[in-house]
A = this chain, B = another copy of it.
Amino acid sequence: MIKKTSLADIAASLGVSKTLVSLVLNDKADRYGISRETQTRVRERIAELNYRPDALARVFRTGKTLNIGLLVPDISNVFCAAMARSIEKKAWEHAYSLVICSTQDNPDRENKQIRNLLDKRVDGLIISSSQQNPGVFNALSEEGFPHVLIDRTYKDMRSPSVSTDNFWGASMVAGHFLEQGFRHMAMVFVAAEHLSAINDRIMGFTSALSAAGVEIPSRWKIRVPLNDAAGTIEAQLNGLKQAGNMPEAIFALNHRLTSDCLLSLRKLNLDIPGEVALAGFDDMPWFALTRPSVTAVRQPLETIGEQAFNLLKRQMNQTDRKGMEASVHLPVELIIRESSVIRASQPAKQHLP
């Protein structure tokens, strides 16, 4: 590897001090009264020797790496990838680079990765967490370390966060189902109710139904493990079908579950929405391409990323790190498509007594 030219090389080749070159480099030359002529000489030599300052040495002095860390459950998940993209875009605009880690919804790994990123001295963290509790984040707050939580937040937490209105989104689905005349509804969710996003959706859906006098029996609360959602869903739905216990409508609490439900219902030869209606949380571009196209709650992924970066930037700029607690809560949108709509003329079927 070719030895890079250093600031010392420039200084030596001009017979001036490193200080002087550094001052010119950082646009402080005028303030320190370096003559214009000398400045020009330095700049010319810099260009000539194709000098690029060593970012690392600079970090070592200044303490700023211009790196930020992003922790998400799984970067290959479209949902995470979309947020990552918008964060990365804003980051790049502000000269930051993004170090991305997938936690695989493993709190242990998440903690290790946080420690690793702190050791590597990222300037801030954006985290979609899988923790059971916000202990780590309160510790970060305590230290005044810049960080923002996205998508998933915690109750007794002082960290800034960006979340969407999961409760309202799920309520809208409930409202829509009710409007379609459904009274027998199921809910499919992953076994991770400690995560605010999941819990809020469950609450939003059930409480909106309750308000209309509709309760979900426990056999229609389909709780699936993280590792084999598809299999469990298929087994459960099959069981219900065999027992003649199918609900009129199913609400799947994230986009993967929605796909899994779609596939399972097909395998069971159930007409959607004729026999069972379907709606999901998280809209995916291709929900418009399936047959039937799928109703879903759309979250403003791009905005989440942008806002998260903004909140983080504010903290990173702040020299006094305390008292930055501000959070953003974003609205969601219900995209109604074929999978949940029964013709107005055709009343909702009553599958069950």
Contacts and interface: CB of A to CB of B under 8 A. Distances in A.
A11 to B, nearest CB: 20
Contact of A52 (B76, B100, B115, B289): B115
Interface in A274-329: 284-286, 288-291, 321
Interface of A: 1-2, 52-57, 59-60, 65-67, 74-78, 80-82, 84-86, 88-89, 92, 97-102, 113, 115-117, 119-121, 143-145, 259, 262-263, 284-286, 288-291, 321
Given A65-B56, A81-B75, A100-B100, A1 B120 contact: no
Given A55-B120, A99-B99, 8 more contacts: A67-B120, A81-B81, A88-B102, A97-B101, A97-B116, A98-B99, A99-B100, A259-B286
Given A81-B75, A88-B101, A291 B290 contact: yes
Contact of A290 (B66, B67, B74, B290): B290
A144 B84 CA distance: 31
Contact of A54 (B55, B121, B145): B121
B59 A56 contact: yes
Nearest to A76: B85
A101 B289 CA distance: 29
Contacts of A98: 99-101
A321 B2 CA distance: 11
